[in-house]
Amino acid sequence: MVRIPVPSPQTPDPSVAPRTFSAIDINLACPVRKISAKARGGHWLREPEGAIDILRAVRAAVPESIPVTVKLRRGSDDSPQAERNFYRIFDALFDLGCAWTTVHGRTVEQKYVGPSRWTFLRDLVRARPGRLVFGSGDVWEVRDIFRMLAYTGVQAVSVARGCIGNPWIFRQARAMMDGAPPAPPTLDEQRAVLREHFDLSVAVNGEGGASLMMRKFGVRFAAHHPRAEEVRRRFIAVESIDGWRRVLDEEYAPAVPEPALLT
Ligand SMILES: Cc1cc2nc3c(=O)[nH]c(=O)nc-3n(C[C@H](O)[C@H](O)[C@H](O)COP(=O)(O)O)c2cc1C
């Protein structure tokens, strides 16, 4: 067991510690081997007392006005002990003053294989009424957000892989909340987002890195295109920045001509 020293609460001096964040989310869920093997992320679901020490230390160190939240999976594995560990951490995080938890309905052992267990989320909400729980797992399109809310009773839903290549899922959710149908993105909107995404990727990864990196995003974005399969194939075949530009220029040509793409 790893014991974490608990610092005493401090009131930061705004002149030396400018506030640069609005919340702190502690990840006790990451299943990636190189993370959990270093006693990070999902590792802590196997060591609830150590996890609670971390939560206590962070909550004490962060100004009270800033919410501390926690990301969990439903357990380290499918054992009854893992479930007990989950509930031990769940109850403690609220006792310590954390604001809410996002619970992914897969185990750490499961990684991303197999379904997220929404029944676990439903039972959790029933067992702990009044606790603020966000649900996570298997939210692939906008209607899944409302399915999860209705089925599990969680107060909020966290969108993950469902927004890769589909940032419009959030405005679609807003529309559905207002009783309107979820509008698909126009080709102009798709082009604008692809272009912005590419420019940001170039800034981070350089041109060579971006054209490779954007292949996998292009494949996901292609699903919205009227000729989805053909555009998907073209994104997969992209090997250079010029290849990327060609797909964008030819498949996402603006209805009204605009200045040169990807300057
Ligand atoms: C590439 C990738 C990166 C992720 N990074 C984080 C992360 O930094 N923090 C976090 O809490 N969850 C992270 N997650 C987990 C997601 O938030 C979410 O719990 C999980 O993907 C299950 O939801 P989904 O089945 O709807 O994708 C990540 C997931 C993926 C696929």
| CATH code, 122 | 3.20.20.70
Q: Do residues 84 and 127 touch, judged by C-beta distance below 8 A?
A: no
For ligand 1, the distance from its centroid to the CA atom of residue 138, given in whole angstroms, is 10
Radius of gyration of the chain (CA): 22
Q: Do residues 112 and 78 touch, judged by C-beta distance below 8 A?
A: no
Same domain, 77 and 122: yes
Catalytic-labelled residue, pool 26, 29, 30, 124:
30
Instruction: Report which protein residue has its CA nearest ligand 1's atom 6.
Output: 30
Paired sense of beta strands 68-75 and 24-27, if any: parallel
- The domain that holds 240 is classified in CATH as 1.10.1200
| Domain final residue, candidates 130, 149, 177 | 177
Same domain, 173 and 191: no
Mean pLDDT of the chain: 91
Residue from 137, 179, 182 nearest 160 by CA: 137
Q: Do residues 51 and 30 touch, judged by C-beta distance below 8 A?
A: no
Phi, psi of 106 (to 5 degrees): -110, 160
Give the confidence band of 263 by pLDDT, cuts at 50, 70, 90. Answer: very low
Report the distance separating Cα 16 and Cα 39, nearest Å: 32
β-pair partners for 117: none
Same domain, 44 and 76: yes
Give the confidence band of 35 by pLDDT, cuts at 50, 70, 90. Answer: confident
Report the distance separating Cα 104 and Cα 208, nearest Å: 35
| Domain final residue, candidates 126, 150, 177 | 177
Token duo for residue 4: 């974490």
Using a 6 Å CB cutoff, which residues line ligand 1?
Answer: 27, 29, 71, 104, 116, 136-139, 158, 160-162
pLDDT at 182 over 80: yes
Q: What's the pLDDT at 231?
A: 97
What mean pLDDT do residues 50-76 have?
97
Hey, what amino acid is at 32? V
Which of ligand 1's atoms lies nearest the C-alpha of 25? 11
Give the confidence band of 4 by pLDDT, cuts at 50, 70, 90. Answer: very low
Residue 199 C-beta-side C-alpha neighbours within 13 Å = 9
Same domain, 161 and 212: no
Give the confidence band of 2 by pLDDT, cuts at 50, 70, 90. Answer: very low
Instruction: Report which protein residue has its CA nearest ligand 1's atom 31.
Output: 161
The count of structural domains within the chain is: 2
Same domain, 136 and 195: no
Hey, what amino acid is at 182? P
Same domain, 63 and 152: yes
Give the confidence band of 18 by pLDDT, cuts at 50, 70, 90. Answer: low
Neighbours of 24 (CB within 10 A): 16
For ligand 1, the distance from its centroid to the CA atom of residue 161, given in whole angstroms, is 7
Which tens digits make up the pLDDT trace of 139-174? Answer: 999 999 999 999 999 999 999 999 999 999 999 999
Which tens digits make up the pLDDT trace of 113-127? Answer: 999 999 999 999 999
pLDDT at 5 over 50: no
User: What does the H/E/C string look like for the chain?
Assistant: CCCCCCCCCCCCCCCCCCCCCCCEEEECCCCCHHHHCCCCHHHHHHCHHHHHHHHHHHHHHCCCCCCEEEEEEEECCCCHHHHHHHHHHHHHHHHCCCCCEEEEEEECCCCCCCCCCHHHHHHHHHHCCCCCEEEECCCCCHHHHHHHHHHHCCCEEECCHHHCCCCCHHHHHHHHHCCCCCCCCCHHHHHHHHHHHHHHHHHHHHHHHHHHHHHHHHHHHHHHCCCHHHHHHHHHHCCCHHHHHHHHHHHCCCCCCCCCCCC
Give the confidence band of 7 by pLDDT, cuts at 50, 70, 90. Answer: very low
Which tens digits make up the pLDDT trace of 195-252? Answer: 999 999 999 999 888 988 888 899 999 999 999 999 999 999 998 889 998 999 999 9
Domain, as residue range, for 204: 187-251
Same domain, 135 and 191: no
Tell me if the pTM is above 0.85.
yes
Report the distance separating Cα 164 and Cα 159, nearest Å: 9
The question of whether 163 is a catalytic residue gets the answer no
| Domain final residue, candidates 152, 177, 202 | 177
Distance, CA of 121 to chain centre:
17
What is the percent of the chain where pLDDT is above 90?
79
Instruction: Report which protein residue has its CA nearest ligand 1's atom 17.
Output: 160
Q: Which of 26, 30, 107 most suits a substitution to test ligand 1, by most atoms within 8 Å of the C-beta?
A: 30
For ligand 1, the distance from its centroid to the CA atom of residue 136, given in whole angstroms, is 8
